[in-house]
Chain A
């Protein structure tokens, strides 16, 4: 049939258009990924000594060794704590932008929030070193006003510093999905809830919060997944805090056990995929598309 010809022609054009992207992805994403997968099943020892025999020992080690278990648990705790802090800050902002502003004012303000993201990632982290550090802006102010005598160190080279820096870095990624879901709730739903006897508090917990769950879920993924692989922030402001990203970087670059590092990477990938699946399945992200 003629129709078949048209369809096959359309398909070949589609293929042609997507070829550059496919080649790019293949060379820079799939080849490295497959390489890592292959490495993860080889036997490795420190200082880049690799024996090319099939083994599962790297995976067994990652899931059973106390050190990697602890790092894994700590990374999850930090990620979840960070997500909680960011949500508490982002939700009121998104709520305000979505419900209190008219027209596209909210969107314009979001653009302003996005501007700092144009700055280089590492420079942003260094900026925070200058604010939070022992001789930083914050300590100078505190000492100048006589609030403390010695520079406080709790905000630098600590877990808290990580949370503060990530809060700054990731805030827009939480505000945007929350803004979109909050904005998409029709005004009449709030009115209907009020009409049926809900006061403002009850409307928030029975209508606003449940209906913004998809936004919260997306914000969670936007923050949780990068945090699981984060290594620059803990290295620069985290002090002794040692996250999964640092663990893997150390195995690759310092210790030089590539197969174990690769197995850790793949395990991390699988875990984030499972988390994503759970979030999509149970937190109603699908409702965004209905």
Chain B
């Protein structure tokens, strides 16, 4: 059998007649952090529950470490889950929460104490062991939940949007810390989130889920720079998508007309002359220039209609001649609404989305 930490083969899940997951195939290597990214209702929590054993797939197979897991209850699986609401036991203090799994496994008391202390030190909560759960802050509760799962050394740790309730600053800190811990322990994590920024920071690989289907899997760089379709492109952050018609194709280089614009780009996709395509240019790849470009390709001009100040940068909404709206990121907040500007982008930043 395969030596993947986790393998899902043709997994389907129906709730009654409603299809929640459709033909999920996924492989995760040992020591990898895979993020499942998708909007709410895309089936990502269901997928996690199937891996954890809380739900059975209607069809398909789940392998953990090469062993078939279908029908195996959660308490016999080498997985552990961090729940959305953390599910800490309110009647136990921090120590007993963390020690829960070890006590169930009937480990000797001194081993329990040693392991709890080790994991608490790793997560910087060793001072809280005697506290009650209700006396902890949100971030501290997060750490306790993490410690409680990590202490039993699961083959796969499943995290169901664990950082949801935290404020932005704490979230960012915890993201980095989680990543640090995962690398240090070299354990396999499956991390579910709807926040693409979180996915970008956290993951080795990302699986993008929409309406129960995996749309794209790959490293975040691959997916961000070469998204498979419009949904993926838009889900991973703001983009400019332009409808074009191919004018000419020569080797990997094509030119296309998009209304008044002429776009030149590179693609490995085989294009036909006259074919309708969608072209994607990320807002941060567009440069603002002050005089018209001599070239008539990969350039545009327009009027600023809105400026959205975002602190470190600003988003400019630019109306191009024929009422197309471009979004451009700029680091210099020197522009004002109504100003006419010129834009330019490189051939290599033009992305063609098939279909």
Q: A and B from one assembly?
A: yes
A interface list, Cβ under 8 A from B: 186, 188-189, 191-199, 202, 206-207, 210-211, 213, 284, 287, 290
The DSSP consensus for interface residues of chain A is: helix
Q: How far is the CB of A149 from chain B (nearest CB, A)?
A: 53
B269: interface (CB < 8 Å): no
Decide: B85 and A188 in contact? CB cutoff 8 A.
Answer: yes
Complex A-B: 29 CB contacts under 8 Å: A186-B87, A188-B84, A188-B85, A188-B87, A189-B89, A191-B54, A191-B74, A191-B83, A191-B87, A192-B83, A192-B87, A192-B88, A193-B100, A195-B52, A195-B79, A195-B81, A196-B101, A196-B148, A196-B149, A197-B104, A198-B104, A199-B73, A199-B75, A206-B100, A207-B89, A210-B91, A211-B90, A211-B91, A290-B134
Tell me the minimal C-beta distance from B48 to chain A in angstroms: 11
B299 within 8 A of A: no
> B236-261 toward A: CB 8 Å interface, digit per residue (1/0)?
00000000000000000000000000
Residues of A within 8 Å of B81, CB to CB, are 191-192, 195
Given the complex of chains A and B, what is the CA–CA distance between A194 and B152 in angstroms?
13
Least Cβ–Cβ distance between B46 and chain A, in angstroms:
14
Most buried by B among A186, A197, A207: A197
- Chain A nearest CB, measured from B148 CB (Å): 7
**Chain B interface extent, by class:** 20 to 34
Supplied contacts A188-B87, A196-B80, 16 more A-B pairs, CB within 8 Å: A188-B83, A188-B85, A191-B74, A192-B83, A192-B87, A192-B89, A194-B54, A194-B73, A194-B74, A195-B52, A195-B79, A195-B80, A197-B101, A206-B100, A284-B91, A287-B91
- In the complex, what distance in Å separates the CA atom of A102 from the CA atom of B110? 43
The docked-state distance in angstroms from the alpha carbon of A213 to that of B177 is 38
Chain A residues with CB under 8 Å of B270's CB are none
B105 proximal to A (CB < 8 A): yes
Question: Is the CB–CB distance between B89 and A195 below 8 Å?
Answer: no
Find chain B residues with CB under 8 A from A192 CB.
81, 83, 87-89
Contact of A196 among B90, B134, B152 (CB under 8 A): B152
Min Cβ gap A205→B in Å is 11
Which residue of chain B has its CB nearest to the CB of A187? B87
Which residues of chain A are near B152, meaning CB under 8 Å? 196-197
Output the least CB separation between B79 and chain A (Å).
Answer: 7
- The 6 nearest A-B residue pairs measured at CB: A192-B87, A188-B87, A196-B101, A197-B104, A194-B74, A188-B83
Chain B residue at minimum C-beta to C-beta distance from A189: B87
- Of A186, A196, A211, the contact of B100 (CB 8 Å cutoff): A196
Beta-carbon contacts of B95-125 to A below 8 Å, as 1s and 0s?
0000011001100000000000000000000
Using CB atoms and an 8 Å cutoff, list the residues of chain B in contact with chain A: 52, 54, 73-75, 79-81, 83-85, 87-91, 100-101, 104-105, 134, 148-149, 152
Complex: A188 Cα to B49 Cα, angstroms: 12
CB closest residue in chain B, given A209? B91
With A191-B74, A192-B81, A290-B134 in contact, is A197–B87 under 8 Å at CB?
A: no
How many angstroms between the C-alpha atoms of A192 and B74 in the bound complex? 9
Residues on B with C-beta less than 8 A from A202 are 104
Q: Could you tell me the distance in whole angstroms from the C-beta of B290 to the nearest C-beta in chain A?
A: 57
- Which chain B positions have C-beta within 8 A of A206? 100, 104
Across the interface, name the chain A residue whose C-beta is closest to B154: A195
Chain B residue at smallest Cβ distance from A199: B75
CA distance A199 to B81 in the complex (A): 16
**Whole-angstrom CA separation of A202 from B81 in the bound complex:** 18
CA distance A194 to B81 in the complex (A): 10
When chains A and B are docked, how far (Å) is the Cα of A198 from the Cα of B148?
14
Partner among A196, A211, A290 whose Cβ is within 8 Å of the Cβ of B104: A196
What B residues does A193 contact at CB under 8 A? 89, 100
What is the bound-complex CA distance between A284 and B91, given in angstroms? Answer: 9
Closest chain-B Cβ to A286's Cβ sits at a distance in Å of: 11
Which of chain B's residues has its CB closest to A284's CB? B91
Give every chain B residue within 8 A of A195 (Cβ-Cβ): 52, 54, 74-75, 79-81, 149
Contact between B90 and A198 (Cβ–Cβ < 8 Å)? no
Q: Pick the most buried of A188, A210, A211, A284: most chain B CB atoms within 10 A of its CB.
A: A188
By a CB distance below 8 angstroms, the chain B residues around A197 are 75, 101, 104-105, 152
What is the CB-to-nearest-CB distance from B226 to chain A, in angstroms, rounded to a whole number?
Answer: 37
- Give Cα distance in the complex from A230 to B116, angstroms: 52
**Contact of A287 with B90 in the complex, beta carbons under 8 Å:** yes
Contact, CB under 8 Å: B75 / A198: yes
Most chain-A CB neighbours within 10 Å: which of B80, B81, B84, B91?
B91
